[in-house]
Structure 1
Amino acid sequence: MSTTATQYETDYKAKFGPRAYLNEYFQEVDQTNHNVMQFIVETTEMYPAKLANATLLNFGCGPAIDTMISFAPQCAEIHMSDYLAGNLAEVQQWVRHAPDAFHWEIFLRRALSLESHGTIPDAEVTQADLEAREALIRQKMTQFLVGDAAQMHPLGDAATASYDVVSLFFCLEAAATTIEQWREMVKNVFSLLKPNGLLVWVMTAKQSKAYYVGDELFNIVPLKQSDIEAALEGIIAADSLKIQYFDVVEHEHVEGAYMVTALKAG
């Protein structure tokens, strides 16, 4: 571990509850969830060649599978990585059909509807299509890896894997305590991406400063678009960077979110 204690070393292991987090943010497909899922569908349509038969690393996955629903049909493998073993265990419960696993049906319905460009409403997605997508996701999730963004080798010194796609959703800004530490984490995580590989990244924006899980409050490093551009300078192909923004109205202390795609420099 890093010799300097990070927020997620001091707070997350002691205070973060995987099921409490799911109950807080995934009881319904709110506008933030919808926007992220729409962004993922658009990304799969924009970069089919990059995703075809790709091995995707979802870094900082938390206990959730929603962001992988629309990636699964194109990728060859999905590796889920998180700092907390409890988050990985929550995902594995779903993969193994555990009786008390979290239910993702409403998110599956929304993703399949979005993939149809709205021609199939959520309620009209068939049970057969739901079960087929669930089976595909479970098949594609082949590894569950403890990861630490504060380390130069986030998956461990022995890990030499290099990924075609690296995705992050609301991760590093909640792990770092300063903008300087956040920049170092960005550098560390994106070292796992192959040259010309695809980066898919969603993060809280502007004056977003914290989020709740039950009664626990976790800090967020506020980020501007210029912070993203500076952190990725020298890492990505400059003309490949695409940044979108949306307001977040559902969650106290969170102002908005950036949605980013880019290709790593060759």
Structure 2
Amino acid sequence: MCRFNTISYLQTLYPGVDNNPNEAPLASFFLEKTVQILHDERNRFGNQKVLEFGGGPNLSSSLLLAQYVDSIRFCDYAQSNLTYVSDWIEQKSTVFDWTNYFESILTIAGTSKEKRIEWESRLRDALIRGGLSICDVNDPDCPILSGKSDDHDIIFSSFCLEAACLTIEIFNETIGKLVRLLKPGGLLLLVMVRNESFYYVDAENFFCLSLDETKVRKALQATGELVDIHIDSADTTVEDQKRNTMSDFDGEMIIHAFKTIK
């Protein structure tokens, strides 16, 4: 992962929701579904703490989450990604400019672009309260995954677990560890690509664990602690797959479920 180029990743994937032919359908699907789930379920989950696991340098989902909760614990494997998030919080002049992308998100959320500054302020406050941390699913002693049980209202992970987990066994174990950290009644929200075996950042090729709806549902059910499991999927078109030279996924999944209340 030390080969991961944070700057190239951001510049390639996040100029604006509709600007990149490789990723626009993907981004629109996930953002629309995330907006819908958070809105529809807002009275069901608490509003205090989110764990965003494997956030990368991507703040798009964080922006949405911050409108519902007070604190976001943001963690990632790569220190370079955390440094970029820290630089954004501190509003450094060299930081990646999220303006266009964030304004696209506000449009999807049905909110005026004029509220971008207000939304960004809420996000900065939430990240400062929660803090930034290193995480590694392949480390059995990962401090984040070994944290306090029943501690978070929402656990969110986007494009992380399929890229980070080296085996299906590690994926299953990680799901169990994340659910342990979730408060009873809390929301587990996962964003994933389907059947992806690799992806590129610049010329660097990265491994991806191929997952589909069946494997994901099996892992969630195996915890014995989740109810109301929903998996929304969208297939990529043949044209999308031909244009996409960055990876080989054939669909998208957004998964949400709630931890049982004992």
> Which TM-score applies when normalising by structure 2?
0.86
Tell me what 1:7 maps to.
none
In structure 1, C-alpha distance between the alignment counterparts of 2:78 and 2:227, rounded to whole Å = 35
Deviates more, 1:237-246 or 1:94-103: 237-246
Query: Contact (CA 8 Å) 2:16, 2:104: kept in 1 or not?
Result: no
Counterpart among 205, 209, 217 of residue 217 in structure 1: 205
1:138 maps to a residue whose letter is: R
Counterpart among 249, 257, 260 of residue 255 in structure 2: 260
Equivalent residues in 2 for 1:1-266 (5 A)? 12-13=1-2, 15-29=3-17, 30-116=24-110, 125-126=113-114, 129-142=115-128, 143-152=131-140, 154-156=142-144, 159-160=147-148, 162-205=151-194, 207-235=195-223, 239-248=227-236, 249=240, 250=244, 251-266=246-261
Q: 1:31 to 1:188 in 2, by over 3 A?
A: same
CA RMSD in angstroms, aligned pairs only: 2.0
Alignment deviations for residues 22-52 of structure 1 (CA, whole Å, 9 cap, x no partner) = 1221123122111111111101112112445
In structure 2, C-alpha distance between the alignment counterparts of 1:60 and 1:234, rounded to whole Å = 22
1:151 Cα deviation after fit = 3.8
In structure 2, C-alpha distance between the alignment counterparts of 1:107 and 1:157, rounded to whole Å = 31
1:78 maps to a residue whose letter is: I
2:157 maps to a residue whose letter is: L
- Equivalent residue pairs, number: 245
In structure 2, C-alpha distance between the alignment counterparts of 1:34 and 1:222, rounded to whole Å = 22
Query: Contact (CA 8 Å) 1:236, 1:263: kept in 2 or not?
Result: no
Query: Contact (CA 8 Å) 1:72, 1:140: kept in 2 or not?
Result: yes
Alignment deviations for residues 163-214 of structure 1 (CA, whole Å, 9 cap, x no partner) = 1110000111111222222222222233221222100001111x32111100
Q: Which ranges of 4 or more aligned residues in structure 1 deviate by more than 4 Å? A: 236-239
Unaligned runs of 5+ in 2: 18-23
In structure 2, C-alpha distance between the alignment counterparts of 1:193 and 1:67, rounded to whole Å = 18
In structure 2, C-alpha distance between the alignment counterparts of 1:109 and 1:157, rounded to whole Å = 33
Tell me what 1:5 maps to.
none
2:193 maps to a residue whose letter is: T
Query: Contact (CA 8 Å) 1:51, 1:75: kept in 2 or not?
Result: no
Q: 1:139 to 1:238 in 2, by over 3 A?
A: closer
Q: 1:28 to 1:158 in 2, by over 3 A?
A: closer
